[in-house]
Structure 1
Amino acid sequence: MIPLLHDFSDCRVLVFGGGPVGARKARRFDHEAEVVVVAPEFADADFGEATLERASPDPTEVSEWLDRIEPALVVAATDDAAVNAAVERAAGDRGVLVNRADHSGERSPGAVVLPAIARDDPVVVGISTQGGAPAVSGVLREEIEREIDGAGALAGFVGDLRERFADLGVDGPHRRDALRAIARSDRIRALVADGQTDQAREVAETVLTEVRNSSE
């Protein structure tokens, strides 16, 4: 499997299953997508901003829900293996991405595994064991969260510099090398973390000058 980031803005995600797993899946997407959860009953859990549809579709009725909702992704998270299998088949027939919560290991084409996520926006790191050992993914996420603390501010700072250097006409190779050196600089990272962006920018300009001079 190949990790990808997918923009679900203005998309719909359809979740079958109203238990804790369905709730967790719904929360994963509701900050970006329109989420609809279908289940005969719903656990006392946080489903975020998802729309809850009380229904109990059997395997022959699953496809009707996909045709009605037209999701970009469908999640099979019920406790009925036959329903989950029907969701997987219906998604495959329509070329829709599918995440089957009751499966691990080998998966069908179009299957999606939702990784554990460490986030410090705009930095996002996904960790997956391809569904085989979620506990390991969770432990690694905790470790990575500590490692990337402050990375979001640094990414924003370097992103602004990238645009500034381009506006100044800095050529591609010099711009790339300078930005990498800036991202590696402990001093700049400390200044950005402390909110001293003006001072960090001065140091960054010095780094750019050094990179340019080193190639002459």
Structure 2
Amino acid sequence: MIPLLHDFSNETVLVVGGGPVGARKARRFAREARVVVVSPEFADVDFGDAELIRAAPEPEETDDWLERFTPALVVAATDDEEVNDAVVAAARDRGVLVNRADRAGDLERDHRDVVVPATVREDPVIVAISTGATAPALSKYLRQELEETLAGAGEMATAVSAVREELKDRDVPPDRRRKIVTDLVNSPAHWTTLRTGPSNSRQVIEDVFAPDGSLATDPNESNPGETE
């Protein structure tokens, strides 16, 4: 399997199944997409911003639900294997991405079947962890381990992006830009700054440049504050 990122903005995700698993999937995708959950009953848990439709789709009706919502992704999350089989078959027939929650580890997959990985988000940084659906507990453990490691990564990404753009605007040569950005990313002091509070990327950006707007450090000049 090859991990890919997919933008579901302005797309619809159809979740068939209103149990805890369906709710978890709904919350996950509702951060970005329109999510519709179809189920005869709904667990007393948070479904995020998903739209809940109380209905009991029969296997022969699953294609009608896909026709109705034209989803980019369908999640089969019921406790009825026959219904889940029908959801997967209908999605595949339509060329729609499908995620099956009840037999993900031993599902005979084709190119439309997807595994939803555990993720750690430090926007805009996203790290995905997957065991191919064979060991979800391990994915959860690794996600928890990485949460601490990635603290401040989003702010660092923001700082690096701003510094790169500023250096390009100043026509700083590529080799020097790479050196400055690499030093920024590898600086323990800058990581500490980013991890001590929100929105500290501005401080890190200012540290790269001297008060007069020149580069505070320049690896190709004998005087660190000297500009071209």
What is the TM-score with the length of structure 1 in the denominator?
0.91
Aligned residue in 1 for 2:209: 202
1:106-185 mapped onto 2 (5 Å cutoff):
106-185=108-187
CA distance, structure 1, for counterparts of residue 187 and residue 68 of structure 2:
52
Question: Is 2:191 aligned against 1:189?
Answer: yes
Q: Residue 176 of structure 1 aligns to which amino acid in structure 2?
A: R
Cα gap change, 1:201 to 1:174, in 2 (>3 Å): closer
Q: Residue 44 of structure 1 aligns to which amino acid in structure 2?
A: D
Aligned residue in 2 for 1:65: 65
Q: Residue 124 of structure 2 aligns to which amino acid in structure 1?
A: P
1:43-54 mapped onto 2 (5 Å cutoff):
43-54=43-54
Cα gap change, 1:107 to 1:202, in 2 (>3 Å): same
CA distance, structure 1, for counterparts of residue 179 and residue 3 of structure 2:
26
Give the total of aligned pairs: 212
CA contact (8 A) 2:159 2:205 kept: no
CA contact (8 A) 2:97 2:114 kept: yes
Q: Deviations over 1:75-97 (max 9, x none)?
A: 00001111111111111111111
C-alpha RMSD of the superposition:
2.0
CA contact (8 A) 1:8 1:33 kept: yes
Q: Residue 208 of structure 2 aligns to which amino acid in structure 1?
A: R
The Cα shift of 1:213 comes to 5.2
Aligned residue in 1 for 2:226: none
**Unaligned runs of at least 5 residues, structure 2:** 223-228
2:137 aligned counterpart, secondary structure:
helix
Question: Is 2:85 aligned against 1:75?
Answer: no
CA contact (8 A) 2:10 2:33 kept: yes
**Unaligned runs of at least 5 residues, structure 1:** none
